[in-house]
Amino acid sequence: MTSCSYFKHTDSGNSPVAKVFDATLYQADVKGIVPKGSSKQDSTQIVKSYIDSWIRNELVLNKANKNLNDESKDVEKQLADYKNSLVIYAYEKELVRQQLDTNVKDAEIEKYYNEHEGNFELKDNIIKVLYLKLAKNSPRLYTVRLLYKSSKPADRKLLEDYCHQYAVNYYLDDNSWLLFDDLLKEIPIKTYDKEQFLKNNRYVEIEDSTYLYFVNISGFKIKESTSPLSFEKDNIKSIIINKRKLKLIGDMEKKVYDEAVKNSDIKVY
């Protein structure tokens, strides 16, 4: 097993490469495993690894056949059940692809949220926030200190223009909820009590050796409180679509069953 001499005996692919008890591995079984363009060294290693794996597999299989009783070795029913499951799954997948309505209206999402509000408990702290990361030598920092605290549309536009020019990183969509932990990945805030930090801080300005960070936390919700609808919207949409999927499959199964009963295609002995 030190070269590609496995392939040099014949062109037919019928020459043996390895043998374990009554099982034989032939050239034809091995040739297709080497990707095109592989170097001679890589090809040799790939073939060697494949043959070694095949040998080990055959040895364990032989051991299993010797030590298992006939009932344990009878996998025909398991294979038939597995095949049937694959066929059913393929049919259900195609049915869902063709017939599932994935359009979910906001009113339906809101209705589901209101009816199941108790199920939406926050697992983490979330915030509405804007933040900027600036080099310490950035211009007009006094103006930035005024703008990042303002909610006026005109000021927000000026801040956005400034960020486009000078910010290393920034986030200005303070209408959307974010995980507080995601903010901590961007801003070097040091706190041992995240909940207390959120309750006691609105505007945060910190620095490290290279950068200045400006943070405006315009809203927050503490973990274990009720998660807001806007934060759960995508999750609820997935829940509704999955319920539709299960109903579609259930209705199909019922229809098939009812038709079979009607046509006397079912006999129970």
In this predicted structure, the answer to whether residue 7 has a pLDDT above a threshold of 50 is: no
Instruction: Tell me the average pLDDT across 140-166.
Output: 95
Q: How many CB atoms lie within 10 A of CB 73?
A: 11
**Domain membership flag for residue 146:** yes
Pair 63, 130 in one domain: no
**Domain membership flag for residue 237:** no
pLDDT of res. 13: 55
CA angle, 179 then 183 then 187, to 5° = 170
Q: How many CB atoms lie within 10 A of CB 231?
A: 16
**Domain membership flag for residue 18:** yes
In this predicted structure, the answer to whether residue 27 has a pLDDT above a threshold of 50 is: yes
Amino acid at the residue 69:
N
How many domains in the chain? 2
Per the confidence metrics, is the pTM higher than 0.75?
A: no
**Domain membership flag for residue 207:** yes
CATH, residue 158: 3.10.50
**Domain membership flag for residue 228:** no
Are 3 and 42 in contact by the 8 Å Cβ rule? The answer is no
Pair 141, 216 in one domain: yes
Pair 55, 150 in one domain: no
Residue where one domain finishes, among candidates 28, 45, 67? 67
In this predicted structure, the answer to whether residue 43 has a pLDDT above a threshold of 90 is: no
pLDDT in tens, 220-244: 999 999 999 999 999 999 999 999 9
Pair 59, 143 in one domain: no
**Domain membership flag for residue 150:** yes
Q: Of 163, 234, 232, 225, whose CA–CA distance to 198 is shortest?
A: 225
Pair 50, 141 in one domain: no
Pair 212, 127 in one domain: yes
In this predicted structure, the answer to whether residue 195 has a pLDDT above a threshold of 90 is: yes
Residue where one domain finishes, among candidates 31, 50, 67? 67
Domain that holds residue 194: 117-221
- Residue 34's pLDDT band, with cuts at 50, 70 and 90, is confident
Are 240 and 116 in contact by the 8 Å Cβ rule? The answer is no
Q: How many CB atoms lie within 10 A of CB 86?
A: 10
pLDDT in tens, 83-141: 999 999 999 999 999 999 999 999 999 999 999 999 999 999 999 999 999 999 999 99
In this predicted structure, the answer to whether residue 9 has a pLDDT above a threshold of 70 is: no
**Domain membership flag for residue 193:** yes
**Domain membership flag for residue 247:** no
Pair 130, 189 in one domain: yes
Mean pLDDT of the chain: 90
